[in-house]
Structure 1
Amino acid sequence: MTLQAKLDAFKADFQAGKPPYNVPPSVIATMQRATAELIASGAAARALKAGDRAPAFTLDEPDGRSIASADLLARGSLVISFYRGVWCPYCNMELQSLQEVLPEFRKLGASLVAISPQNGANSRKSVRQNGLAFPILSDPHNTVAAAFGLRFALPDYLVDLYKSLKNDLPAFNGDESWTLPMPGRFVIGQDGTILYAEVNPDYTRRPEPEDMLPVLRRALVAA
């Protein structure tokens, strides 16, 4: 089953209020409203695209060790997945699918990192729960996400909903700003050029990990 098929199946059960979710229709309507408004804002069109230069960054793993994008690119191409956090089931399914394709990435000389605004403790939880063998990097205040054009502020009504659901983003992230990244997937070549970019303001839509493979093959040949 493809990643998107898994996401669609989860979404159908979640929006239908099936156990164990039991989500009221009003909650679904509020989430759909926020997604529709983010789509209408045109924010995704302003994110970095293939052909743009990727911002350099240095971020921390959960153990506090810093990882620089320049060091990763010195080894080969770099695949980056920006995700919302361990609390997001869609993100967790995406991370699991990326893990399945990780051996193929490595055969093509590419590194893979995931970036979220959550703190180190929650990144450790992401690694543990999803059985990941690639780094989870913490992006305080969504600073790197903003450099890629992904950061957005949650509308007040969505903040109120999250609070009512005990989805406390300030506690998850150590940041009071109530911002998130739009989910984004990027492939960066060794010269720092973005070779592939997929950004979707609808967090229930994610590209297939296998979509990266042709790009990585071309990058390997060109290196």
Structure 2
Amino acid sequence: MNTDKLAPGSIFPEVIVPTVAGGQVILGKAGSDNDHWQLVVVYRGKHCPICARYLTTLKELESEFGAQGVDIVAVSGDGIEKAKTQVEEGELSFPVGYDLQPSQMEALGLYISDPRSPQETDQPFAEPGLFAIRPDGQIQIIDISNAPFARPDLNSILKGITFIREKGYPIRGTH
């Protein structure tokens, strides 16, 4: 079990994954411009109904995050077919990456679980994670969970990022 976790204020590691829409996305690098942040949401995979609801909430807040200069990307270890189905069923418009490898999950400090049965999924998968990354690549907010039931409220994350950007609030937890 990997116990190395990313530290607040550290530079987000370069992780490149393919996207359902085609091409690739670099996690931690906002695509819009030099002033944009990136919100990276790691979800467990198509097998997780809690993830589907979380992605729906993220979709509902997408324009509000965009208004605050935050680009969204979601990613899982699912293969293309499951990820594509997730995008279609959720009508997701933000980039969705797939094929996150266990070595990449470890680099992000994520908890990794084995499936309980073949009906759940067919490979190890990352438990939920959320990272708010500043334009300079520094990690402002980290939330890593070992279970699908513990995730940050996305409205609170949005309000927090808004406050941080407006007030120049520092990165916390760096002592």
Structure 1 moving runs of 4+ over 6 Å? none
- TM-score normalised to the size of structure 2? 0.83
Where do 5+ consecutive residues of structure 2 fail to align? 169-175
Q: Determine which structure has more spread, i.e. the larger CA radius of gyration.
A: 1
AA matched with 1:196: I
What is the match of residue 156 of structure 2? Answer: 211
Aligned partners of 1:184, 1:140: CA distance in 2, in Å? 13
Give 1:73 shift. 7.0
**Among candidates 72, 87, 97, match of residue 31 of structure 2:** 72
**Higher normalized strand content (fraction of residues):** 2
Contact 2:8 2:140 in 1 (8 A): yes
Contact kept, 8 Å, 2:131 with 2:140, in 1: the verdict is yes
What residue number does 1:167 align with? 120
Q: Is contact 1:196–1:215 with CA below 8 Å preserved after alignment?
A: no
Corresponding position of 2:88: 128
1:48 and 2:1 matched? no
1:42 Cα deviation after fit: 9.3
Select 1:149's aligned residue among 102, 109, 112.
Answer: 109
Q: What code does the residue aligned with 1:208 have?
A: D
* Normalised TM-score (structure 1): 0.66
Task: Indicate whether 1:201 and 2:160 are aligned.
Answer: no
Match in the other structure for 2:137: 192
Deviates more, 1:65-74 or 1:86-95: 65-74
Task: Specify the SS of the correspondent of 1:97.
Answer: helix
- Residues 90/71 of structure 1: CA separation in 2 closer, same or farther (3 Å cut): closer
- Identity, % of aligned pairs? 22
User: Which ranges of structure 1 fall in alignment gaps of 5 or more residues?
Assistant: 1-40, 170-177
String of CA shifts for 1:50-108, please: whole Å, max 9, x gaps. Answer: 22221122211124311224352744100011011111001101101111111110001
CA distance in 1, matches of 2:6, 2:85: 29
Q: 1:103 to 1:205 in 2, by over 3 A?
A: same
Aligned pairs (5 A) from 1:101-140 = 101-140=61-100
Q: Is this contact kept in 1: 2:59–2:92, CA < 8 A?
A: yes
Any idea what SS the aligned residue of 2:31 has? helix
Question: Which secondary structure state, in structure 1, belongs to the residue aligned with residue 101 of structure 2?
Answer: helix
